[in-house]
Structure 1
Amino acid sequence: MVISALGRRRRNARGRGGVPAPDVDEGRWIEVDAVHKTYRPRRSEPTHALSDVTFTVRRGEFVSVVGPSGCGKTTLLKILAGLVPGSRGTVRVAGHEVAGPLPEVGMVFQAATLLPWRTVLQNVMVPVEVRKLDARVYRERAERLLAMAGLDGFEDTYPHELSGGMQQRTGICRALVHDPAVLLMDEPFGALDALTRDHMNVELLRIRRESGQTIVFVTHSIPEAVFLSDRVVVLSPRPGRIAEIVDIELARPRALSVMASDRAGVFVERIRKHFDGAGVTDR
């Protein structure tokens, strides 16, 4: 029921308002073309964060971005979200050039950033209120998303009553409620303990499988990137350049046990070789 309802709405969508432009190429759902970013503070030297970053993301694809601390991973995500401008180059999401925040994009941050005075359902409905969408229609969608995320029965619970993993799942539902064309995730599980993080990775793949979402996911963890992704974009040390884009040829659906396989180990080591000796990523 959830799969068909969410998928049908996505296939029939056209135009603005969190949905793709007509005739957009689904093989180039996200286009990043020769993007550079230099920060120019008033009282210090410029920082060259990104240099000539170019790649595309297909519709429905899960792409992770890994690289050393300070290489521009979060900056790249913010440029995709329209939160900061690139210095040069262009970015398009679902056929729309990014020149500011787009309704086509949902974002999940490192912390859940839930409003403590609002219940789980009320937190999920925040984007609906901000965009002045039909609350009756989107409340039903919010409830379906919460059920899909294993949070049915917690709609009237407040954030302080939830575990860290449940808070992050609520944040994912909030980012998905207006049916964005793209979901951006900035190390959303980095603060969780290892067992909870593994559980959240499995949950994220299940949610993504049922929603059909296109996801760009930033992480420091190479094994996490391999487990989750269709492809992994590997950035060099600052200024971040694309060192390699690795196709993760592991069958889906995936269980955590796949990470013990020799095949997964090949991909982990292929990515890790870019950083060996630098101590810059989670092993």
Structure 2
Amino acid sequence: MAMRSPGRRRQKAVPAPDVDEARWIDVGGLHKTYRSRRSEPTHALSDIAFTVRRGEFVSVVGPSGCGKTTLLKILAGIVPRSEGTVRVAGRDVTGPLPEVGMVFQAATLLPWRTVLRNVMVPAEVRKLDTGVYRERAGRLLTMVGLDGFEDRYPHELSGGMQQRAGICRALVHDPAVLLMDEPFGALDAMTREYMNVELLRIWRESGQTIVFVTHSMAEAVFLSDRVVVLSARPGRVAEIVDIDLERPRALSAMASDRAGVHVERIRKHFNTAGVIDR
């Protein structure tokens, strides 16, 4: 089912007027340094610069500790930048924005709430129209194959089902951007492949702009329009790789020769075996 924004009497995530859709996310000269009274400062990110078009799917890969999650949290307004500019949907990011939804490594569903009530959390926090958003939540759950599970509790769901509920929760307030921090890293290989295909379907139907952090080069190539490759800490943009695989993509594309060329191009930036997954 294609996603449509429900009827309007609600506080929607509205982009700034006259925003350039080619620079829906615009990062320039970004630095992040963590400071501690007990230790030397840690320079996590250095001079990061890239843009993301509206509706684009961009992945970020790099070795452990290179600042991938920090970058995502800065885009989300959860962590402040030290220097540089960060704009999302035409707005300067100085704190959490309604334009942004985020999916974490774990689904982090509230165990005492049903699936539907978990999905409704962002609407309740923002004091949005409960009736309108309950309808939207139901449509999202149908879109991800969780219709009939609205009244179940998280412990009654598989890991993949929990992550699908987490994606619905991030989408329920209709954000302009969806940020995903290794959401499938804890899943078994078969479930992870299924979730990759599901995510592409959800992305296609919802029209969201997605920035996706992963350790897996193959996953990044399969999912993305472009892949931002970060160096070891402090994370710098080593290369931005355009992915020219046709869409829509079946799992077989992951094993194609062309995908392999892209994976090897990304791999050349990492000299230590096993730094990031194949």
Q: TM-score range by the shorter chain?
A: over 0.9
TM norm structure 2? 0.97
Gapped regions of structure 2 (runs ≥ 5) = none
Q: Give per-residue Cα distances to partners, 1:126-185, cap 9 Å, x unaligned.
A: 000000000000111100000000000100010000000000000000000000000000
- Shift of residue 4, structure 1, vs aligned partner: 5.6
Q: Which amino acid aligns with 2:71?
A: L
Within 5 Å, give how 1:196-207 maps onto structure 2.
196-207=191-202
| Residues in 2 aligned to 1:238 and 1:230: alpha-carbon distance in whole angstroms | 25
**Residue matched to 1:222:** 217
- Preserved CA contact (<8 Å) 2:14 2:99: yes
Which of 248, 269, 272 is the matching residue for 1:277?
272
CA contact (8 A) 2:63 2:232 kept: yes
Partner residue, 1:140: 135
Figure out how many residues of one structure are paired with residues of the other and give that number: 278
Q: Do 1:109 and 1:186's aligned partners in 2 also have CA atoms closer than 8 Å? A: yes
1:39 aligned partner: 34
Task: Name the aligned partner's letter for residue 103 of structure 1.
Answer: P
In the alignment, is the contact (CA less than 8 A) between 2:12 and 2:174 conserved in 1?
A: no
Indicate the SS of the match to 2:2. Answer: helix
Q: Which runs of 5+ in 1 are unaligned?
A: none
Counterpart CA distance in 1 for 2:14 and 2:58 is 20
The amino acid that maps onto 1:238 is: R
Partner in structure 2 of residue 26 of structure 1: 21
Tell me the residue number matched to 2:74: 79
Indicate the SS of the match to 1:5: coil
2:92 to 97, 100, 103: 97
- For 1:137 and 1:17, locate their aligned partners in 2 and report how far apart those are by CA, in whole Å: 12
Give the ranges of 4+ consecutive aligned residues of structure 1 lying more than 2 Å apart after TM superposition.
276-279
Return the match for 1:181 from 165, 176, 183. Answer: 176
Q: By how many angstroms is 1:269 displaced?
A: 0.5
**Is the 2:26–2:88 Cα contact (8 Å) retained in structure 1?**
yes
Q: Is the 8 A contact 1:19 1:179 kept in 2?
A: no
**How big is each residue's C-alpha offset from its partner over 1:86-110, in whole Å with a ceiling of 9 and x where there is no partner?**
1000100001100000000000000
The 1:4/1:155 distance shift into structure 2, 3 A limit, reads closer
Q: Quote the residue 2:52 is aligned against.
A: 57
Q: Give, as a single letter, the amino acid of the residue that structure 1 aligns with 2:66.
A: C
Given candidates 102, 107, 110, the residue that maps to 1:107 is: 102
Give the distance between the partners of 1:46 and 1:132, measured in 2 at CA.
Answer: 39
Residue 5 (structure 1) aligns with = 4
Task: Report the Cα distance in structure 2 between the residues aligned to 1:276 and 1:43, rounded to whole angstroms.
Answer: 32
Give me the whole-angstrom Cα distance separating, in 2, the residues matched to 1:51 and 1:117. Answer: 41
Q: 1:113 aligns to what SS in structure 2?
A: coil
Work out which of the residue numbers 252, 256, 263 in structure 2 matches 1:257.
Answer: 252
Out of 236, 240, 255, the residue aligned to residue 241 of structure 1 is 236
Rounded Cα–Cα distance in structure 2 between residues aligned with 1:174 and 1:239:
32
Pairwise CA distance, 1:278: 4.2
Q: 1:108, 1:171 within 8 Å by CA — same for their partners in 2?
A: yes
Query: Which residue in 1 is equivalent to 2:65?
Result: 70
